[in-house]
Amino acid sequence: MYIVLEGIDGAGKSTQIELLGQWLIANGFDVEIVEEPTDSDIGRLIRKFLQDEDATSDYMQKTLGLLFAADRVLLMNKINKFKEENKVIISDRSFYSSLAYQDPKKWIAELNKYAKIPDLVILLDLDLKTSVNRSGETDEFENEEFLHHVKENYLELAKKYDNFKVIDGNNGINMVSKDIKKEVAPLVGICLSSIIK
Ligand code: TYD
């Protein structure tokens, strides 16, 4: 099982991944948590590029698109192994992030043609103001205008792909966590009544 959390910066993905992971472990599952960009050499290079003042420009977006795709190929090798071991993989981001953040879209889709399709994508949808306040502008993508465009792209993706579930990320941590569990439970065979408690 390959479950992905997506959303604009500051959506609370990491907190929710932690809570989801703990809950799955408590229910007897073997869980692996991964994230994109990864901690590979390519991932480190990506984080450096994200600080560049030109990060949202056309040439940098293309460069980042290539780097994210390469970083993902390395990660997919690990994910395939985890899948063979029947683990539940929870990932902070996936190729859908590239489709939401990078341009040009057709080319980015082509680059990611062989990326693994998640069984479930939880899109944490968040107000832009909250996003910018929470993320505190640590990289060049964390500005309101750019994130507005990314948020719209995510909502388009959610309309287009059946594996997406949109969850309101503006609610408190516990409410969001419950909403996520409600989507994951039927997929892994956990009884829904255990979440309502
Ligand atoms: P990170 O510090 O991990 O942010 P977050 O904790 O919000 O995930 O940096 C990841 C940044 O990279 C984030 O702004 C989203 C962006 N990104 C892309 O633009 N394309 C991609 O394919 C991925 C995976 C991330």
Listing DSSP states for 122-158 in one string gives EEEE--HHHHHHHH-S-STT-SHHHHHHHHHHHHHHH
Closest-lying ligand 1 atom to the alpha carbon of residue 37: 24
Task: Give the pLDDT confidence of 121-178 residue by residue, as tens digits.
Answer: 999 999 988 888 887 667 888 888 899 999 999 999 999 999 999 999 999 999 999 9
Residue nearest (by alpha carbon) to ligand 1 atom 14: 141
Percent residues over pLDDT 90 in the chain:
85
**9-58: pLDDT as tens digits:** 888 899 999 999 999 999 999 999 999 999 999 999 999 999 999 999 99
Cα–Cα distance measured from residue 102 to residue 187, given in angstroms and rounded to the nearest whole number = 30
pLDDT interval class at 77 (50, 70, 90): very high
CATH class for domain 2-196? alpha beta
Q: Which of 93, 96, 133, 150 to mutate to test the pocket of ligand 1 (most atoms within 8 A of CB)?
A: 93
pLDDT of residue 196: 64
In the chain, the DSSP E strands lie at 2-6, 31-35, 88-92, 120-125, 164-168
User: Domain map of the chain by residue range?
Assistant: 2-196
Taking only the tens place, the pLDDT of each residue in 10-23 is: 888 999 999 999 99
